[in-house]
Structure 1
Amino acid sequence: MNFIIWIVIGGIIGWLASMVMKTDAQQGIFLNMVVGIVGALLGGWLLAPMFGSGTINADDFSALSLLVSFLGAVILLGIVNLIFRGRLR
């Protein structure tokens, strides 16, 4: 059951991050899930030590862990935009 919740929350986080970075029209549901989950990994690696929290990947579903996962997804989309488009958007 945790896996399903992890996929759903990752999809929502990826979708919100794609709306913030204005890449929502280019992505589907599957890519939003991937962005949310990989962004949570990136956020856990970069941001979680600074905030002192976990991420959705560490089964920590607090408001701070959702924020760290969301920021990680936004950073991931920014890196992808820089690589493929040469600008942040």
Structure 2
Amino acid sequence: MSFIWSLIVGGIIGWLASLIVGRDIPGGIIGNIIAGFVGAWLGTLVLGNWGPHVANFAIIPAIIGSAVLALIVGFIMRAFRKAS
């Protein structure tokens, strides 16, 4: 059950990051979940493990890390569209 809870929280974190950045994360729900997990890992790595925790995610660093990840993915996707 904790795995399902982690997927839900990861998806919500990815969705919030896409709202903050103003760009959709490619891949829909699966993309949001992946962005939530990777962003949480990056945010915790860079900013530390502080703030409220839900399903083993430090929420504030996870959202910040996911927003940065969404920006980077958006820039890469835009560069590929311009190149083709």
TM range (shorter): 0.7 to 0.9
Alpha-carbon separation, structure 2, partners of 1:84 and 1:28: 15
Residues 13 and 69, structure 1, Cα contact 8 Å, conserved in 2: yes
- Cα distance in structure 2, aligned partners of 1:22 and 1:30: 18
Unaligned runs of 5+ in 1: none
Aligned residues: 78
**C-alpha deviation, 1:82, in angstroms:** 2.4
Which residue number corresponds to residue 68 of structure 1?
61
CA contact (8 A) 2:25 2:31 kept: no
Counterpart of 1:42, as a letter, is L
Corresponding residue for residue 76 of structure 2: 83
SS at match of 2:43: helix
TM-score normalised by length of structure 2: 0.75
Cα RMSD (Å): 2.5
Which residue of 2 is the match for residue 34 of structure 1? 34
How far the C-alpha of 1:69 sits from its partner, in A, is 0.5
Query: Do 1:44 and 1:54's aligned partners in 2 also have CA atoms closer than 8 Å?
Result: no
1-structure distance, mates of 2:26, 2:6? 23
Identity, in percent, stands at 40
Which structure's residues are more often strand, by fraction? 2
The structure whose Rg is larger is: 2
Contact 2:51-2:60 within 8 A present in 1 as well: no
Unpaired runs of at least 5, structure 2: 80-84
